[in-house]
Protein backbone atom coordinates (compact mmCIF):
# COMPACT_ATOMS: atom_id res chain seq x y z
CA UNK A 1 0.00 0.00 0.00
CA UNK A 2 2.40 2.67 -1.18
CA UNK A 3 1.35 6.18 -0.29
CA UNK A 4 4.46 8.00 -1.56
CA UNK A 5 3.00 9.54 -4.73
CA UNK A 6 -0.41 10.46 -3.35
CA UNK A 7 -1.62 13.90 -4.46
CA UNK A 8 -3.66 15.51 -1.71
CA UNK A 9 -7.40 15.90 -2.32
CA UNK A 10 -9.74 18.43 -0.79
CA UNK A 11 -11.98 15.62 0.41
CA UNK A 12 -9.16 14.21 2.60
CA UNK A 13 -10.33 16.50 5.40
CA UNK A 14 -13.96 15.49 4.92
CA UNK A 15 -12.98 11.81 5.07
CA UNK A 16 -11.12 12.26 8.36
CA UNK A 17 -14.07 14.12 9.85
CA UNK A 18 -16.48 11.43 8.67
CA UNK A 19 -14.33 8.68 10.21
CA UNK A 20 -14.49 10.50 13.53
CA UNK A 21 -18.28 10.83 13.39
CA UNK A 22 -19.44 7.46 12.02
CA UNK A 23 -18.64 3.78 12.25
CA UNK A 24 -18.09 3.54 8.49
CA UNK A 25 -17.70 5.90 5.56
CA UNK A 26 -18.93 5.28 2.02
CA UNK A 27 -17.00 7.11 -0.71
CA UNK A 28 -18.98 7.19 -3.95
CA UNK A 29 -17.97 8.57 -7.30
CA UNK A 30 -17.07 7.94 -10.90
CA UNK A 31 -14.62 5.23 -11.84
CA UNK A 32 -11.01 6.49 -12.02
CA UNK A 33 -11.70 9.60 -9.93
CA UNK A 34 -9.26 8.51 -7.19
CA UNK A 35 -11.56 6.95 -4.57
CA UNK A 36 -9.30 3.97 -3.90
CA UNK A 37 -6.13 6.08 -3.56
CA UNK A 38 -7.82 8.52 -1.20
CA UNK A 39 -9.35 5.75 0.89
CA UNK A 40 -6.09 3.78 0.86
CA UNK A 41 -4.26 6.84 2.14
CA UNK A 42 -6.45 6.82 5.24
CA UNK A 43 -6.81 3.04 5.69
CA UNK A 44 -4.81 0.65 7.88
CA UNK A 45 -5.83 -2.49 5.94
CA UNK A 46 -7.59 -3.21 2.67
CA UNK A 47 -9.49 -5.83 0.69
CA UNK A 48 -9.83 -5.27 -3.07
CA UNK A 49 -13.06 -6.99 -4.10
CA UNK A 50 -12.12 -6.88 -7.79
CA UNK A 51 -8.62 -8.35 -7.32
CA UNK A 52 -8.58 -11.00 -10.10
CA UNK A 53 -6.43 -13.36 -8.02
CA UNK A 54 -8.89 -13.36 -5.13
CA UNK A 55 -12.27 -12.24 -6.42
CA UNK A 56 -13.77 -15.75 -6.48
CA UNK A 57 -12.70 -16.53 -2.93
CA UNK A 58 -13.88 -13.11 -1.75
CA UNK A 59 -17.27 -13.71 -3.38
CA UNK A 60 -17.50 -17.12 -1.74
CA UNK A 61 -16.63 -15.57 1.62
CA UNK A 62 -19.24 -12.85 1.10
CA UNK A 63 -21.87 -15.49 0.31
CA UNK A 64 -21.06 -17.71 3.30
CA UNK A 65 -19.48 -15.61 6.05
CA UNK A 66 -19.06 -11.94 5.08
CA UNK A 67 -17.66 -11.02 8.50
CA UNK A 68 -14.37 -12.68 7.47
CA UNK A 69 -13.81 -9.92 4.93
CA UNK A 70 -14.13 -7.32 7.66
CA UNK A 71 -11.25 -8.64 9.74
CA UNK A 72 -8.16 -6.42 9.71
CA UNK A 73 -6.74 -3.24 11.17
CA UNK A 74 -9.11 -0.28 11.20
CA UNK A 75 -10.01 1.74 9.30
CA UNK A 76 -10.38 -1.23 6.92
CA UNK A 77 -10.94 -0.36 3.27
CA UNK A 78 -13.38 -2.51 1.29
CA UNK A 79 -12.82 -1.41 -2.28
CA UNK A 80 -15.73 -1.73 -4.77
CA UNK A 81 -18.01 -3.16 -2.09
CA UNK A 82 -21.01 -3.19 -4.44
CA UNK A 83 -19.54 -6.32 -6.11
CA UNK A 84 -20.86 -8.15 -3.03
CA UNK A 85 -23.79 -6.00 -1.77
CA UNK A 86 -24.27 -8.24 1.27
CA UNK A 87 -21.20 -6.48 2.70
CA UNK A 88 -23.31 -3.38 3.32
CA UNK A 89 -25.43 -5.13 5.93
CA UNK A 90 -22.37 -6.93 7.31
CA UNK A 91 -20.63 -3.58 7.88
CA UNK A 92 -23.75 -2.06 9.43
CA UNK A 93 -24.08 -5.04 11.80
CA UNK A 94 -20.38 -4.91 12.77
CA UNK A 95 -20.60 -1.17 13.47
CA UNK A 96 -23.64 -1.78 15.69
CA UNK A 97 -21.92 -4.64 17.49
CA UNK A 98 -18.66 -2.81 18.18
CA UNK A 99 -20.14 0.66 18.73
CA UNK A 100 -16.91 2.30 17.57
CA UNK A 101 -16.15 5.01 15.01
CA UNK A 102 -13.83 4.92 12.03
CA UNK A 103 -13.99 1.15 11.51
CA UNK A 104 -14.51 0.86 7.75
CA UNK A 105 -14.17 2.74 4.49
CA UNK A 106 -16.27 1.53 1.56
CA UNK A 107 -15.67 2.69 -2.00
CA UNK A 108 -17.94 2.21 -4.97
CA UNK A 109 -18.26 3.46 -8.55
CA UNK A 110 -21.87 2.36 -8.93
CA UNK A 111 -24.97 2.67 -6.80
CA UNK A 112 -26.48 -0.81 -6.30
CA UNK A 113 -30.24 -1.34 -6.68
CA UNK A 114 -32.26 -0.24 -3.66
CA UNK A 115 -33.43 -3.78 -2.94
CA UNK A 116 -29.98 -5.28 -2.29
CA UNK A 117 -29.47 -3.73 1.12
CA UNK A 118 -31.72 -4.55 4.05
CA UNK A 119 -30.86 -1.32 5.90
CA UNK A 120 -30.07 2.23 4.83
CA UNK A 121 -27.06 2.56 7.09
CA UNK A 122 -28.43 5.75 8.63
CA UNK A 123 -26.50 6.65 11.77
CA UNK A 124 -23.83 4.05 11.05
CA UNK A 125 -22.49 4.76 7.57
CA UNK A 126 -21.60 8.30 6.49
CA UNK A 127 -21.74 9.01 2.74
CA UNK A 128 -19.44 11.32 0.82
CA UNK A 129 -19.17 12.02 -2.88
CA UNK A 130 -15.85 12.23 -4.71
CA UNK A 131 -15.32 13.76 -8.12
CA UNK A 132 -12.35 13.95 -10.50
CA UNK A 133 -9.59 16.39 -9.58
CA UNK A 134 -10.15 20.13 -9.63
CA UNK A 135 -7.49 22.32 -11.21
CA UNK A 136 -6.30 23.31 -7.75
CA UNK A 137 -5.85 19.67 -6.75
CA UNK A 138 -3.97 18.89 -9.97
CA UNK A 139 -1.72 21.90 -9.23
CA UNK A 140 -2.88 23.80 -12.33
CA UNK A 141 -4.69 26.55 -10.42
CA UNK A 142 -2.51 28.70 -8.15
CA UNK A 143 -5.40 28.96 -5.67
CA UNK A 144 -4.85 32.62 -4.78
CA UNK A 145 -8.60 33.30 -4.60
CA UNK A 146 -10.48 31.18 -2.07
CA UNK A 147 -14.22 30.42 -2.09
CA UNK A 148 -14.08 29.89 1.68
CA UNK A 149 -12.28 33.19 2.26
CA UNK A 150 -14.85 35.02 0.14
CA UNK A 151 -17.69 33.53 2.19
CA UNK A 152 -15.95 34.56 5.40
CA UNK A 153 -15.02 38.03 4.17
CA UNK A 154 -11.31 37.24 4.56
CA UNK A 155 -10.23 37.25 0.93
CA UNK A 156 -7.66 39.99 0.55
CA UNK A 157 -7.51 41.87 -2.70
CA UNK A 158 -4.60 40.41 -4.56
CA UNK A 159 -2.71 40.75 -7.79
CA UNK A 160 -3.51 37.15 -8.68
CA UNK A 161 -2.58 36.17 -12.21
CA UNK A 162 -3.41 32.86 -13.88
CA UNK A 163 -0.85 31.28 -16.16
CA UNK A 164 -3.50 29.21 -17.96
CA UNK A 165 -3.78 30.23 -21.59
CA UNK A 166 -6.89 29.57 -23.67
CA UNK A 167 -4.98 26.78 -25.42
CA UNK A 168 -4.10 25.21 -22.07
CA UNK A 169 -7.71 25.42 -20.88
CA UNK A 170 -8.86 23.64 -24.05
CA UNK A 171 -6.38 20.85 -23.29
CA UNK A 172 -7.47 20.60 -19.63
CA UNK A 173 -11.10 20.26 -20.71
CA UNK A 174 -10.22 17.36 -23.00
CA UNK A 175 -7.82 15.69 -20.58
CA UNK A 176 -10.16 15.96 -17.60
CA UNK A 177 -9.41 15.63 -13.92
CA UNK A 178 -8.68 11.89 -13.89
CA UNK A 179 -5.75 11.37 -11.50
CA UNK A 180 -4.10 8.76 -13.73
CA UNK A 181 -3.94 11.24 -16.63
CA UNK A 182 -2.49 14.22 -14.74
CA UNK A 183 1.18 13.48 -15.31
CA UNK A 184 0.90 11.66 -18.61
CA UNK A 185 2.11 12.75 -22.03
CA UNK A 186 -0.46 14.72 -24.03
CA UNK A 187 -1.75 11.95 -26.31
CA UNK A 188 -1.78 9.34 -23.55
CA UNK A 189 -3.73 11.68 -21.28
CA UNK A 190 -6.28 12.47 -24.00
CA UNK A 191 -6.72 8.78 -24.79
CA UNK A 192 -7.87 7.97 -21.26
CA UNK A 193 -11.13 9.91 -21.54
CA UNK A 194 -11.87 8.21 -24.87
CA UNK A 195 -11.29 4.78 -23.33
CA UNK A 196 -13.54 5.75 -20.43
CA UNK A 197 -16.41 6.61 -22.80
CA UNK A 198 -16.05 3.33 -24.68
CA UNK A 199 -16.14 1.41 -21.38
CA UNK A 200 -19.35 3.25 -20.43
CA UNK A 201 -21.00 2.41 -23.75
CA UNK A 202 -20.03 -1.25 -23.97
CA UNK A 203 -19.80 -2.37 -20.36
CA UNK A 204 -20.43 -0.07 -17.39
CA UNK A 205 -23.94 1.16 -18.19
CA UNK A 206 -25.24 -2.40 -18.58
CA UNK A 207 -23.43 -3.81 -15.55
CA UNK A 208 -24.99 -1.34 -13.13
CA UNK A 209 -28.38 -3.11 -13.21
CA UNK A 210 -27.51 -6.20 -15.29
CA UNK A 211 -29.85 -5.03 -18.04
CA UNK A 212 -28.28 -5.00 -21.49
CA UNK A 213 -28.30 -1.55 -23.12
CA UNK A 214 -28.09 -0.92 -26.83
CA UNK A 215 -24.56 0.48 -27.43
CA UNK A 216 -25.64 2.53 -30.44
CA UNK A 217 -28.43 4.23 -28.49
CA UNK A 218 -26.13 4.79 -25.50
CA UNK A 219 -23.58 6.49 -27.74
CA UNK A 220 -26.23 8.69 -29.36
CA UNK A 221 -27.62 9.61 -25.96
CA UNK A 222 -24.16 10.56 -24.68
CA UNK A 223 -23.56 12.62 -27.82
CA UNK A 224 -26.83 14.46 -27.29
CA UNK A 225 -25.98 15.15 -23.65
CA UNK A 226 -22.55 16.38 -24.80
CA UNK A 227 -24.07 18.68 -27.45
CA UNK A 228 -26.44 20.08 -24.84
CA UNK A 229 -23.90 20.37 -22.03
CA UNK A 230 -24.44 23.33 -19.68
CA UNK A 231 -28.02 23.77 -20.92
CA UNK A 232 -31.46 22.83 -19.57
CA UNK A 233 -32.27 20.58 -22.54
CA UNK A 234 -35.31 18.41 -21.77
CA UNK A 235 -36.05 14.82 -22.80
CA UNK A 236 -37.90 16.02 -25.92
CA UNK A 237 -34.81 17.87 -27.14
CA UNK A 238 -32.65 14.82 -26.47
CA UNK A 239 -35.17 12.55 -28.21
CA UNK A 240 -35.24 14.77 -31.30
CA UNK A 241 -31.46 14.86 -31.27
CA UNK A 242 -31.21 11.09 -31.33
CA UNK A 243 -34.04 10.49 -33.80
CA UNK A 244 -32.46 12.91 -36.27
CA UNK A 245 -30.07 10.00 -36.95
CA UNK A 246 -33.04 7.77 -37.94
CA UNK A 247 -32.72 5.80 -34.68
CA UNK A 248 -35.97 5.62 -32.70
CA UNK A 249 -35.92 5.85 -28.90
CA UNK A 250 -38.71 6.13 -26.35
CA UNK A 251 -38.95 8.59 -23.47
CA UNK A 252 -38.83 5.62 -21.08
CA UNK A 253 -35.56 4.38 -22.61
CA UNK A 254 -34.02 7.86 -22.35
CA UNK A 255 -35.07 8.04 -18.71
CA UNK A 256 -33.76 4.56 -17.92
CA UNK A 257 -30.43 5.18 -19.66
CA UNK A 258 -29.90 8.55 -17.96
CA UNK A 259 -30.74 7.03 -14.58
CA UNK A 260 -28.17 4.29 -15.23
CA UNK A 261 -25.58 6.97 -16.11
CA UNK A 262 -26.39 8.72 -12.83
CA UNK A 263 -25.89 5.49 -10.91
CA UNK A 264 -22.37 5.12 -12.30
CA UNK A 265 -21.69 8.80 -11.58
CA UNK A 266 -21.18 9.79 -15.23
CA UNK A 267 -24.04 12.29 -15.41
CA UNK A 268 -24.39 14.88 -12.66
CA UNK A 269 -26.96 17.53 -13.45
CA UNK A 270 -27.42 20.73 -11.45
CA UNK A 271 -30.73 21.39 -9.75
CA UNK A 272 -32.48 24.74 -9.93
CA UNK A 273 -32.37 27.16 -7.00
CA UNK A 274 -35.67 28.38 -5.59
CA UNK A 275 -34.99 31.39 -3.36
CA UNK A 276 -37.49 33.77 -1.81
CA UNK A 277 -37.86 36.80 -4.09
CA UNK A 278 -38.99 40.37 -3.44
CA UNK A 279 -41.72 40.04 -6.05
CA UNK A 280 -43.53 37.05 -7.52
CA UNK A 281 -41.58 35.65 -10.44
CA UNK A 282 -41.92 32.13 -11.81
CA UNK A 283 -38.65 30.24 -11.37
CA UNK A 284 -37.61 27.62 -13.90
CA UNK A 285 -37.04 24.24 -12.27
CA UNK A 286 -35.29 22.35 -15.08
CA UNK A 287 -31.98 20.67 -14.32
CA UNK A 288 -28.85 21.84 -16.08
CA UNK A 289 -27.07 19.08 -18.03
CA UNK A 290 -23.55 18.18 -16.98
CA UNK A 291 -21.16 15.25 -17.01
CA UNK A 292 -19.07 14.63 -13.91
CA UNK A 293 -16.11 15.77 -16.02
CA UNK A 294 -16.11 17.78 -19.30
CA UNK A 295 -13.60 15.40 -20.88
CA UNK A 296 -16.41 12.87 -21.31
CA UNK A 297 -18.23 15.36 -23.56
CA UNK A 298 -15.22 16.00 -25.79
CA UNK A 299 -14.40 12.29 -25.90
CA UNK A 300 -17.85 11.24 -27.05
CA UNK A 301 -17.94 14.15 -29.54
CA UNK A 302 -14.53 12.98 -30.82
CA UNK A 303 -12.88 16.39 -30.60
CA UNK A 304 -9.41 17.24 -29.32
CA UNK A 305 -8.11 20.57 -27.93
CA UNK A 306 -7.71 21.96 -31.44
CA UNK A 307 -11.29 20.97 -32.19
CA UNK A 308 -12.45 22.80 -29.07
CA UNK A 309 -10.60 25.94 -30.12
CA UNK A 310 -12.18 25.78 -33.58
CA UNK A 311 -15.72 26.21 -32.19
CA UNK A 312 -15.61 29.06 -29.68
CA UNK A 313 -19.34 28.93 -28.90
CA UNK A 314 -19.17 25.27 -27.88
CA UNK A 315 -15.90 26.02 -26.08
CA UNK A 316 -17.89 28.37 -23.85
CA UNK A 317 -20.31 25.61 -22.83
CA UNK A 318 -17.43 23.21 -22.15
CA UNK A 319 -15.65 25.87 -20.12
CA UNK A 320 -18.76 26.32 -18.02
CA UNK A 321 -18.79 22.58 -17.39
CA UNK A 322 -15.11 22.64 -16.36
CA UNK A 323 -15.78 25.47 -13.92
CA UNK A 324 -18.88 23.71 -12.63
CA UNK A 325 -16.83 20.60 -11.83
CA UNK A 326 -14.25 22.63 -9.92
CA UNK A 327 -16.73 24.82 -8.06
CA UNK A 328 -18.71 21.75 -7.00
CA UNK A 329 -15.52 20.39 -5.43
CA UNK A 330 -14.69 23.72 -3.77
CA UNK A 331 -18.27 24.09 -2.53
CA UNK A 332 -18.24 20.61 -1.02
CA UNK A 333 -15.08 21.51 0.91
CA UNK A 334 -17.04 24.47 2.31
CA UNK A 335 -20.08 22.41 3.34
CA UNK A 336 -22.12 23.89 0.52
CA UNK A 337 -24.37 22.81 -2.34
CA UNK A 338 -24.42 24.09 -5.92
CA UNK A 339 -27.48 25.12 -7.95
CA UNK A 340 -28.31 27.23 -10.99
CA UNK A 341 -30.91 29.99 -11.29
CA UNK A 342 -33.24 31.01 -14.10
CA UNK A 343 -36.61 32.71 -13.99
CA UNK A 344 -39.32 33.40 -16.53
CA UNK A 345 -37.85 36.83 -17.36
CA UNK A 346 -34.69 35.12 -18.65
CA UNK A 347 -32.55 36.32 -15.76
CA UNK A 348 -30.09 33.61 -14.82
CA UNK A 349 -26.96 32.79 -12.89
CA UNK A 350 -24.81 29.88 -13.99
CA UNK A 351 -24.09 28.73 -10.43
CA UNK A 352 -25.40 29.43 -6.96
CA UNK A 353 -23.36 28.24 -3.97
CA UNK A 354 -25.39 27.84 -0.80
CA UNK A 355 -23.82 26.89 2.52
CA UNK A 356 -25.75 24.98 5.17
CA UNK A 357 -25.72 28.09 7.36
CA UNK A 358 -27.80 29.87 4.72
CA UNK A 359 -25.03 32.01 3.22
CA UNK A 360 -25.15 32.14 -0.57
CA UNK A 361 -23.20 33.46 -3.54
CA UNK A 362 -23.95 33.80 -7.24
CA UNK A 363 -21.51 33.06 -10.06
CA UNK A 364 -21.50 33.72 -13.79
CA UNK A 365 -19.03 31.87 -16.01
CA UNK A 366 -17.58 33.59 -19.08
CA UNK A 367 -14.72 32.26 -21.17
CA UNK A 368 -13.77 35.65 -22.61
CA UNK A 369 -13.58 39.17 -21.22
CA UNK A 370 -16.08 40.73 -23.66
CA UNK A 371 -19.07 39.31 -21.74
CA UNK A 372 -17.96 40.44 -18.28
CA UNK A 373 -20.07 43.60 -18.22
CA UNK A 374 -23.23 41.76 -19.23
CA UNK A 375 -22.52 39.05 -16.63
CA UNK A 376 -22.01 41.71 -13.95
CA UNK A 377 -25.36 43.32 -14.70
CA UNK A 378 -27.07 39.91 -14.50
CA UNK A 379 -25.54 39.24 -11.08
CA UNK A 380 -26.53 42.66 -9.75
CA UNK A 381 -30.08 42.22 -11.06
CA UNK A 382 -30.35 38.82 -9.37
CA UNK A 383 -28.99 40.15 -6.09
CA UNK A 384 -31.59 42.93 -6.17
CA UNK A 385 -34.40 40.40 -6.69
CA UNK A 386 -33.60 38.29 -3.63
CA UNK A 387 -35.66 38.85 -0.49
CA UNK A 388 -32.83 39.66 1.92
CA UNK A 389 -35.03 39.41 4.99
CA UNK A 390 -35.60 35.73 4.27
CA UNK A 391 -32.43 34.78 2.36
CA UNK A 392 -29.85 37.27 3.59
CA UNK A 393 -27.65 39.35 1.34
CA UNK A 394 -25.26 37.57 -1.03
CA UNK A 395 -21.84 36.81 0.51
CA UNK A 396 -20.23 37.62 -2.83
CA UNK A 397 -20.88 37.86 -6.55
CA UNK A 398 -18.30 36.43 -8.93
CA UNK A 399 -17.53 36.09 -12.62
CA UNK A 400 -15.23 33.15 -13.37
CA UNK A 401 -13.26 33.65 -16.57
CA UNK A 402 -10.72 32.03 -18.82
CA UNK A 403 -8.61 35.19 -18.62
CA UNK A 404 -5.44 36.00 -16.70
CA UNK A 405 -6.18 38.65 -14.08
CA UNK A 406 -8.19 38.50 -10.86
CA UNK A 407 -9.64 41.74 -9.50
CA UNK A 408 -12.61 43.21 -7.67
CA UNK A 409 -14.76 45.66 -9.60
CA UNK A 410 -15.99 48.95 -8.19
CA UNK A 411 -19.46 47.39 -7.79
CA UNK A 412 -17.95 44.71 -5.55
CA UNK A 413 -18.13 41.85 -8.06
CA UNK A 414 -15.08 39.59 -8.18
CA UNK A 415 -13.62 38.66 -11.56
CA UNK A 416 -11.56 35.52 -11.11
CA UNK A 417 -9.73 33.32 -13.65
CA UNK A 418 -10.41 29.61 -13.11
CA UNK A 419 -6.63 29.25 -12.83
CA UNK A 420 -6.66 31.31 -9.60
CA UNK A 421 -9.56 29.63 -7.81
CA UNK A 422 -9.56 27.17 -4.91
CA UNK A 423 -11.73 26.04 -2.03
Mean pLDDT of successive 10-residue stretches along the chain, which has 423 residues: 72 96 95 95 95 89 92 96 90 93 92 57 84 97 97 89 97 97 93 95 90 94 97 95 92 95 96 86 88 98 98 97 98 97 93 97 95 96 94 96 96 97 97
199 and 293 together in one domain: yes
Residue 192 lies in a domain: yes
Residue 380, CB-side half-sphere exposure with 13 Å CA sphere:
12
- Of 96, 130, 164, the position where a domain reaches its end is 130
β-partners of residue 1 are: none
pLDDT at 383: 96
C-alpha distances in Å from residue 272, one per residue of 22, 156, 348: 31, 31, 10
φ, ψ at 389 (rounded to 5°): -65, -35
Helix (H) or strand (E) holding 362: strand 360-366
Please indicate, yes or no, whether residues 373 and 322 belong to a single structural domain of this protein.
yes
In a domain, 418, yes or no: yes
Strand 145-146 and strand 45-48: the pairing is unpaired
Report the CATH number that the domain containing residue 93 is assigned in CATH. 3.40.50.300
The domain of 315 spans 145-422
Examine the domain organization and report whether 28 and 168 are in the same domain.
no
Same domain, yes or no: 80 and 151: no
- In this prediction, residue 307 carries a pLDDT of 98
Strands 125-130, 145-146: pairing kind: unpaired
Domain match, 317 and 197 both: yes
Last-in-domain residue among 65, 100, 130: 130
Would you call the peptide bond into 77 cis, given omega within 30 degrees of 0 as the criterion?
A: no
136 belongs to a structural domain: no
In a domain? residue 135: no
- Residue 155 DSSP code: P
Last residue of a domain, one of 65, 98, 130: 130
pLDDT of residue 3: 47
Give the number of domains in the chain: 2
Q: Are 292 and 377 within one domain?
A: yes
Q: What is the pLDDT of residue 121?
A: 60
Q: Say whether both 169 and 102 belong to one domain.
A: no
Cα Rg of the chain, angstroms: 22
Burial of 287 (0-12, 13-18, 19+ CB in 10 A): middle
Could you tell me the maximum CA-CA distance found in the chain, to the nearest angstrom? 68
In a domain, 295, yes or no: yes
Q: How many Cα neighbours within 13 Å face the side chain of 165?
A: 5
What pTM value is reported for the model?
Answer: 0.94
Report the b/e string of 136-155 with b at 16+ CB within 10 A.
bbbebbbbbbbbbebbeeeb
Question: Do the domain assignments include residue 6?
Answer: no
Where does residue 348 rank: exposed (0-12), middle (13-18), buried (19+ CB within 10 A)? middle
- The verdict on residue 69 lying in a domain is yes
In whole angstroms, what is the distance from residue 333 CA to residue 423 CA? 6
Residue 2 within a domain: no
Residues 81 and 213 occupy one common structural domain: no
Same domain, 61 and 196: no
Task: Report in angstroms the alpha-carbon separations of 116 from 86, 210, 213, 335.
Answer: 7, 13, 21, 30
Residues 126 and 275 in one domain: no
Of the candidates 409, 421, 328, 320, the one whose C-alpha atom is nearest the C-alpha of residue 372 is 409
Say yes or no: 126 and 150 in one domain.
no
Please name the residues in contact with 134: beta carbons below 8 A apart, sequence gap of 6 or more: 10, 141, 177, 325, 326, 329, 330, 422
Q: Based on the domain organization, do 170 and 70 belong to the same domain? A: no
Q: What span, in angstroms and rounded, lies between the C-alpha atoms of 49 and 59?
A: 8
Number of H-type helices and E-type strands within the chain: 16, 13
Amino acid sequence: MSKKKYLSRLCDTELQLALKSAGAVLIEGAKWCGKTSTANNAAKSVVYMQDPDNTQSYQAMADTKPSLLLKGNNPRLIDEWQVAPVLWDAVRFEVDKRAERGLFILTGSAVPPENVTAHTGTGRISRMIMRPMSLFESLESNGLISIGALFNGKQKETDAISDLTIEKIAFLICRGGWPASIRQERETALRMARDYVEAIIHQDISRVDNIEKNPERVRLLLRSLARNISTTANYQTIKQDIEATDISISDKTISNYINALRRIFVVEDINAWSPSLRSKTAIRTSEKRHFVDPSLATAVMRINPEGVLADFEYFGFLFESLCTRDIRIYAQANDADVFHYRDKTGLEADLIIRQRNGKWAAIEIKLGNKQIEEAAQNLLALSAKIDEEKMGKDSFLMIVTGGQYAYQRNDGIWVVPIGCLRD
